[in-house]
Chain A
Amino acid sequence: MQVKTKPAPEIVPGARHPMEKYLRTDRLPHIWCSGCGLGTVLGNFLYAVDELGWDPDKVAVVSGIGCTGRIAGYLKLDTYHTTHGRAIAFATGLKLANPNLHVAVISGDGDLFAIGGNHLIHAARRNIDLTVVCVNNFNYGMTGGQVGPTTPLEGRTTTTPFGNFEHPFNLVHLAASAGASYVARWTTLDGRRLQKGLVEAMAHNGFTFVEVISPCPTNYGRRNRLGEGLDELRYYAEHAVIRHGADPREAEIVPGKRFLVGKFIEVDKPTYHEMYAAKVAEMTGGKT
């Protein structure tokens, strides 16, 4: 991967975002810091929805709480900004009550893997037909940069002033072990690949998981001398190694070392809904 430094594009008067039809433009500008990766994630998600060609009226997005959790509010879809950590549990109810919906959960590393970790592993185990997009910025952005379950060892955060001494999660490994039927990881630098990963994940039947490594220059980047958002993208370019089908156990992220991105898992297995329907048919002899 090569990044060429280009001057920042000028804001063109009257220019429109190509995915504007999916945006609540009356809510812009968004709240995110400059250099934050969240805008890229939002953009790529919309390109993915567009590429899928689904009826947008049938796409619902559920978020928890955090900087990432604010993505839902900018999308002109049925969107639910729920409680911290509970997006997957909410989405489970939404999807089971209306199986015709395509439901995506977009939330942060703290939301999905600390306070909400239990819901994630159980939704994966049940193979609920949801796509979970975890924006991993290695800390709690919204609340001012505290340590989270993905903060690397020695990472500086407001609650690890002497460096983090807790072992972090490898999200790819965790999601795969819990039973996710599709697991991929990309960075916000990998625009096209991320878009493709999101398309694959959303089109795949069952619980699918996409981790997006994303810069948080304001909180994590600044405290860990990673520079501006753009510098962090350069870091990704130098350290991310694409290896599809790699062993999830090798997907650890250690600062200063190379880390794996790509598609780790893609398996077909019946979803919760299909298993439920099969059981009902078995019980009633198909006469419901």
Chain B
Amino acid sequence: MSPKATLAGIHFMNGDEAIAEGAIAAGCRFFAAYPITPQSEIAERLAWRLPRVGGTFIQMEDEIAAMAAVVGGAWGGAKAMTATSGPGFSLMMENLGLAIMTETPCVLVNVQRGAPSTGLPTAVGQGDMMQARWGSHGHYEIIALVPASPQEAFDLTVRAFSLAERFRVPVLLMTDEVVGHMYERVEIPDEVPIAPRRRPTVPPSEFVPFAPGPDLVPPMACAGEGYRVHVTGLTHDERGYPDMSDGAHDRLVRRLCDKILRYRNEITFYEEVGLDDAEIAVVSYGISARVAYGAIARAREAGIKAGMLRLITAWPFPDERVRALADQVKGIVVVELNLGQMSREVERAIQGKVPLVGVFHAGGRIHTPEEVLAGIEEVAGCR
């Protein structure tokens, strides 16, 4: 078999496989993970694919090791990814913090399932959205993307790698069991936009490893390139040397946040469905949004002007767009497979200007269109 990196063409594949192909197309050549349902198809496909394209697949001894190896792999010069589900996501949180603090580009996929704990290993959930935001320790900003289809799983995996390189951050892909396992048409283009690693532009003698450029992101010198960088999870100065002062800490944490916040308009993607004339807005994401499309169509048939803001980027949250929505519509319905996580962000953004109805389910199955429709009718005052 010729080692073709990008399987350009039209495929029938599930979301997990699309993520694996998206990673390879984006140039990922290091993948470390630990098996967990419903992520396993990502690992299995990469175990088959990566060795043929000159990459490394390794099944580590646990998810702590997987995340640590990914951070190490990125410093070894590779584009690196791991994938897991709830329990493993929790185990990755410490080294996610290391990746944030050391400004390590990498991608972490969470195929969400029913939780807490072992919960529903084979069934859908969206209960890790807040863990994605705040699950590691300390104050930080994070980029989290949420695909609603296998095609989008491919596209957003590619985009996750670009964002990771551009901002030198770990990027989360927060998918779910149903998107992971459902088969749909996936079109893989001949070429995908690949963001290169931001390399030093000066010789080692002049290089200051953590001195940020004008966009607050420092260039990255990997191991073996002659720059001899010290990388630490301790609070550090621009040389990368530990600095235990509160001033250095405040400065560093602010820069790590600001490098994302300053560009949030370029990071925060969403889809607008019939919002132009909408009086009721559904806010949803991932598989829950897929169900909401149908409910909106049925609401329109029943004479309710419903639309949807489908979050593609969950974090940073599109505050401004949701705030503007509150000035336009009469009510908002949040649909998600948890008992209210992103809805808290919506509440925060709309500041009580319009009523909000949550269509929540703890997971195990997706919503029915009827449940979403009932929520739309409730907030529209039809019930």
Q: What residues make up the interface of A, taking CB atoms closer than 8 Å to B?
A: 24, 26-27, 56-58, 60, 62, 72-73, 76-83, 86, 89-98, 100-101, 118-119, 122, 276, 279-280, 283-284, 287-288
Q: Determine whether the beta carbon of B242 is less than 8 Å from that of A93.
A: no
Q: Determine whether the beta carbon of B72 is less than 8 Å from that of A80.
A: yes
* A283 contacts across to B, CB distance below 8 A: 51-52
Which of B63-71, B159-167, B263-271, B323-331 binds A? Answer: B63-71
| A95-B1 in contact given A56-B228, A86-B68, A90-B69 (Cβ < 8 Å) | no
Nearest chain B CB to A64 CB, angstrom units: 10
* A98 contacts across to B, CB distance below 8 A: 76-78, 222-224
Q: Determine whether the beta carbon of B52 is less than 8 Å from that of A284.
A: yes
- Interface residue? B192 (CB, 8 A): no
| A92-B228 in contact given A82-B98, A97-B78, A276-B56 (Cβ < 8 Å) | no
Nearest chain A CB to B248 CB, angstrom units: 15
- Interface residue? B301 (CB, 8 A): no
Q: What residues make up the interface of B, taking CB atoms closer than 8 Å to A?
A: 1-3, 29-30, 32, 51-52, 54, 56, 58, 60-62, 64-66, 68-78, 80, 94-95, 97-98, 222-234, 239, 241-242
* B65 contacts across to A, CB distance below 8 A: 86, 89, 92, 118-119, 122
Q: Which residue of B lies closest to A285 (CB)?
A: B1
Q: Point out which of A82, A91, A94, A279 has the most chain B C-beta atoms below 10 A from its C-beta.
A: A94
The answer for the CA separation of A191 and B92 in the assembled complex, in Å, is 39
A–B Cβ pairs within 8 angstroms, 18 of them: A24-B230, A77-B228, A78-B222, A79-B231, A83-B98, A86-B68, A89-B61, A92-B58, A92-B60, A93-B76, A96-B30, A96-B56, A97-B72, A97-B76, A98-B77, A98-B78, A100-B224, A122-B60
**Interface of A (DSSP majority class):** helix
Choice from B52, B223, B241 contacting A78 with Cβ under 8 Å = B223
Choice from B52, B58, B239 contacting A280 with Cβ under 8 Å = B52
* B1 contacts across to A, CB distance below 8 A: 284
Q: Determine whether the beta carbon of B58 is less than 8 Å from that of A81.
A: no
Choice from B51, B77, B233 contacting A82 with Cβ under 8 Å = B233
* B61 contacts across to A, CB distance below 8 A: 89, 118-119, 122
| A89-B60 in contact given A96-B73, A97-B78 (Cβ < 8 Å) | yes
Q: Determine whether the beta carbon of B76 is less than 8 Å from that of A96.
A: yes
Q: Determine whether the beta carbon of A78 is less than 8 Å from that of B227.
A: yes
Nearest chain B CB to A18 CB, angstrom units: 19
Q: Determine whether the beta carbon of A94 is less than 8 Å from that of B75.
A: yes
The answer for the CA separation of A80 and B71 in the assembled complex, in Å, is 11
* B30 contacts across to A, CB distance below 8 A: 93, 96-97
Q: Determine whether the beta carbon of B68 is less than 8 Å from that of A89.
A: yes
The answer for the CA separation of A284 and B65 in the assembled complex, in Å, is 29
Q: Determine whether the beta carbon of A86 is less than 8 Å from that of B230.
A: no
* B239 contacts across to A, CB distance below 8 A: 26
The answer for the CA separation of A78 and B226 in the assembled complex, in Å, is 8
* A76 contacts across to B, CB distance below 8 A: 228
Nearest chain B CB to A45 CB, angstrom units: 16
| A89-B56 in contact given A73-B230, A96-B76 (Cβ < 8 Å) | no
Q: Point out which of A89, A92, A93, A288 has the most chain B C-beta atoms below 10 A from its C-beta.
A: A93
